[in-house]
Chain A
């Protein structure tokens, strides 16, 4: 079974803090994705990566950056957290471009 894990289920940070969200997959998948999910807005793609050290902007990259130093790990970074970044963050991975994306359990981030 594919397993995608995220470092925290719940996280509370203060405005201006730097925040790291970690995601690890154990299936040697090429592609990894970061989404945020908000009521009424559905899932929105922040960034994705199709290879180590490669990254592509999604629909809403502003205020975020990512890092993929190893194939199995994809990190989402909030350089200076703001209250409008309070959300559920979901990581996903897929074997290739035309394959199913498998999701992690999500991290509920609250920025005070």
Chain B
């Protein structure tokens, strides 16, 4: 497969552990945030989103937390599985704009 990025921060976990991937954003005017998962050689896949009027949102095995005070976003994956191994990106949209600003990504490696 192809690497989507060199020198990415890497999080290594064991199967069954919970994973937390963090993302800092810089613009307090950002009002919509998205987490994407990208497997090697594939396009980014939407996981979960959250708007700035929320602090927490849950999906299936995933939870996104938003801390606007410190401009921090996190993605929590419960009971991590080998199929969760991928690069995870956060992205933000500034209020009034249509374009996303992407973080560089974090590589999650899950060992069986």
Q: Which residues of A line the B interface, CB within 8 A?
A: 4, 31, 33, 37, 39-40, 42-43, 45, 48, 50, 58, 88, 90, 94, 96-98, 100-106, 108
Contact = CB atoms under 8 A, between A and B. Distances in A.
A50 B103 CA distance: 23
A4 B45 CA distance: 11
A42 B103 CA distance: 7
10 contacts: A39-B5, A40-B7, A42-B5, A42-B89, A43-B102, A90-B43, A97-B98, A98-B32, A98-B98, A106-B43
Max chain B CB contacts within 10 Å: which of A31, A40, A42, A102? A42
B97 A102 contact: no
A47 B2 CA distance: 24
Given A42-B103, A101-B100, A88 B46 contact: no
B4 A94 contact: no
Nearest to A101: B100
A108 B3 CA distance: 12
A58 B41 CA distance: 24
Contacts of A4: 43
B104 A42 contact: yes
Nearest to A96: B98
B34 interface: yes
A40 B104 CA distance: 8
A71 to B, nearest CB: 16
